[in-house]
């Protein structure tokens, strides 16, 4: 059996679904490009029939990202299959992914169809898609709660109709590793033409077992895993890409398998997805969490200093974690800064470089040592994916326990006019947001707010990630500064600009 496991990334489909569709077209393309650099085999770019935005994103990614297979998801309906193909046909290697529920629970309560009708739909839609492209994936939704005999039958029929990958979803996150592994083994044993298709696993994390279930599937012969960056996805999320890839890499002795992923790109990808979706990564998250490689116990620290292997199973550099050692200071020049960025794998055009350098100089004035993590945060700050409708010019806030929090802000409006206002709030952030609202005047509600420091130390950069909601659509914002009130204001402006510019586009 083939010893390469294909990594099928569904961050832009299952993950984006959970983010409330908050990514814009450019951000989806940026993520897809980074996934290509990361070396995933398949990118599920969206569900074209679900919205015009998804259709456009799949079409754009299919045209621009040429290395991986680009996959479009569709229900088993003729019109949806046509729309999936219309979106993905420009890809170098297009794939159509059809899903259809097969469990009795879904058949009775949701689809109100019998098993024979479902079989016929699956067969017909796979055959229809096969006329467009040879690369067809089929997913019997809720497979882990489907009667095994029926599952074997439907898999056999879709493979006969032309499916080249059969994906086994644990849609509701119900499976337990040993059982899920047995399900995969049962498929290999009972589906006579299974050698004509790649078996895949798609696991959800409702019981915290998505990665364990995916690995159990791999152990039993699955050679594709569907996963997302940082494990984002519906409810408790999907299987996390970085955990699966690093488990296979770290325990090569046990799995004897490989993936095509360039692990040094993991951290950068994780940061990008977190920033753009507005989902922070928990500090104790395996592989990419802020504490994932931090040793607190004195005995552990002593061991790691003597020899990292004593307590470290993964070299942090192998997943691309930038060092938190001093790299540049106040006196570093533009050339040294540029060289250093190049070493870290960033290539900036002249204009972006000038802006980043100016921001670096400003930071170096406030903070005595600038580390790779600071620089990375600063670059994220400069990454312009949102057109500025309003520009944050100045902000001042006062707070404390003996008075009311007040804030004054100055914004530059779309016509270039300066607008000033001030407000009281329950705290300085609240006051800043209220003052901004008085100028921008677009109703919205704040649904998430998180602050974290990029490095240790009292002078560290504070990063704020927020999500706001207006008319049922959510928008994310990010801001970073050594002053967390300023970070909060930047994050809010970022989210507001995202909302305003998407309204300008659609309206």
Q: How far is CA 260 from the centre of its chain?
A: 19
Q: For residues 14 and 481, which CB has a smaller minimum distance to Zn ion in the complex?
A: 14
Question: What is the C-alpha separation between 359 and 363, in angstroms, rounded?
Answer: 6
Shortest Å, Cβ 201 to Zn ion: 11
Shortest Å, Cβ 261 to Zn ion: 20
Shortest Å, Cβ 170 to Zn ion: 9
Shortest Å, Cβ 412 to Zn ion: 43
Q: For residues 11 and 497, which CB has a smaller minimum distance to Zn ion in the complex?
A: 11
Q: Are 114 and 106 in contact (CB under 8 A)?
A: no
Shortest Å, Cβ 139 to Zn ion: 9
Q: For residues 232 and 440, which CB has a smaller minimum distance to Zn ion in the complex?
A: 232
Q: For residues 14 and 142, which CB has a smaller minimum distance to Zn ion in the complex?
A: 14
Shortest Å, Cβ 323 to Zn ion: 36
Q: For residues 14 and 80, which CB has a smaller minimum distance to Zn ion in the complex?
A: 14
Shortest Å, Cβ 386 to Zn ion: 28
Q: For residues 73 and 378, which CB has a smaller minimum distance to Zn ion in the complex?
A: 73
3-state helix, strand, coil in the chain (%, to 5): 45, 20, 30
- Point out the residue whose Cβ comes nearest to Zn ion: 14
Q: Which of 428, 434, 403 lies closest to 487, judged by CA?
A: 428
Q: For residues 14 and 381, which CB has a smaller minimum distance to Zn ion in the complex?
A: 14
User: What 3-state class would DSSP assign to 422?
Assistant: strand
Shortest Å, Cβ 233 to Zn ion: 6
In sign, the C-alpha dihedral spanning 215, 220, 222, 223 is positive
Question: What is the C-alpha separation between 35 and 230, in angstroms, rounded?
Answer: 13
Q: For residues 14 and 242, which CB has a smaller minimum distance to Zn ion in the complex?
A: 14
How many CB atoms neighbour CB 148 within 10 A? 13
CA atoms within 13 A on the CB side of 24: 20
Shortest Å, Cβ 47 to Zn ion: 11
Question: What is the C-alpha separation between 88 and 65, in angstroms, rounded?
Answer: 11
Burial class (CB in 10 A: 0-12, 13-18, 19+), 327: buried
Q: Are 207 and 239 in contact (CB under 8 A)?
A: no
Q: Which of 10, 18, 26 lies closest to 70, judged by CA?
A: 10
Q: For residues 143 and 491, which CB has a smaller minimum distance to Zn ion in the complex?
A: 143
Q: Which residues bind Zn ion (CB under 5 A)?
A: 14
Tracing tokens 């070299």 back to the chain, one arrives at: 315
Q: How far from each other are the two terminal CA atoms of the chain, in whole angstroms?
A: 54
Cα dist. 21→27, 42, 46, 432 in Å? 11, 21, 11, 27
């Amino acid at each position: 059996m083939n010893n390469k496991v294909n990594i099928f990334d569904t961050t832009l489909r299952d993950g984006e679904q959970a983010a409330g569709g908050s990514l814009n077209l450019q951000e989806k393309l940026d993520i897809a490009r980074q996934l290509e650099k990361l070396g995933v085999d398949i990118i599920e770019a969206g569900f074209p029939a679900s919205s015009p935005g998804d259709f456009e994103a799949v079409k754009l990614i299919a045209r621009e990202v040429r290395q991986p297979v680009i996959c479009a998801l569709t229900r088993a309906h003729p019109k949806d299959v046509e729309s999936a193909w219309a979106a993905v046909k420009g890809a170098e290697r297009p794939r159509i992914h059809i899903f259809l529920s097969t469990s009795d629970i879904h058949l009775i309560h949701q689809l109100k169809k019998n098993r024979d009708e479902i079989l016929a739909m699956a067969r017909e839609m796979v055959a229809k898609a096969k006329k467009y492209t040879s690369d067809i994936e089929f997913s019997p939704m809720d497979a882990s709660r489907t009667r095994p005999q029926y599952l074997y039958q439907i898999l056999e029929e879709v493979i006969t109709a032309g499916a080249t990958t059969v994906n086994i979803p644990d849609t509701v996150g119900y499976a337990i590793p040993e059982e899920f592994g047995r399900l995969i083994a049962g498929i290999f044993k009972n589906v006579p033409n299974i050698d004509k298709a790649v078996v895949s696993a798609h696991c959800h994390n409702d019981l915290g077992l998505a990665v364990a279930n995916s690995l159990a599937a791999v152990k039993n012969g699955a050679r594709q895993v569907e996963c997302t960056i940082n494990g984002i996805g519906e409810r408790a999320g999907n299987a996390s890409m970085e955990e699966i890839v690093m488990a296979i890499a770290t325990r090569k002795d046990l799995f004897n398998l490989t993936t095509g992923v360039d692990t040094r790109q993991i951290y950068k990808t994780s940061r990008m997805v977190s920033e753009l979706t507005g989902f922070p990564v928990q500090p104790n998250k395996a592989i990419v969490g802020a504490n994932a490689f931090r040793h607190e116990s004195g005995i552990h620290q002593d061991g790691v200093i003597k020899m990292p292997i004593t307590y470290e199973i993964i070299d942090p550099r192998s997943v691309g974690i930038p060092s938190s050692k001093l790299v540049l200071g106040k006196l570093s020049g533009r050339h040294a800064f540029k060289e250093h960025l190049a070493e870290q794998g960033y290539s900036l055009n002249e204009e972006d470089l000038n802006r980043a350098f100016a921001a670096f100089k400003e930071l170096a004035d406030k903070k005595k040592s600038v580390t790779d993590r600071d620089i990375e945060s600063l670059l994220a700050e400069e990454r312009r994916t949102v057109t500025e409708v309003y520009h944050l010019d100045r902000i001042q806030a006062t707070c404390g326990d003996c008075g009311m929090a007040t804030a004054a802000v100055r914004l530059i409006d779309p016509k270039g006019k300066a607008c000033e206002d001030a407000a009281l709030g329950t705290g300085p952030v609240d006051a800043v947001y209220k003052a901004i609202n008085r100028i921008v005047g677009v109703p919205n509600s704040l649904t998430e707010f998180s602050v974290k420091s990029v490095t240790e130390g009292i002078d560290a950069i504070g990063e704020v990630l927020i999500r706001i909601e207006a008319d049922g659509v959510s928008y994310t914002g990010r801001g970073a500064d050594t002053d967390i009130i300023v970070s909060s204001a930047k994050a809010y402006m970022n989210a507001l600009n995202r909302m305003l510019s998407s309204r300008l586009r659609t309206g």
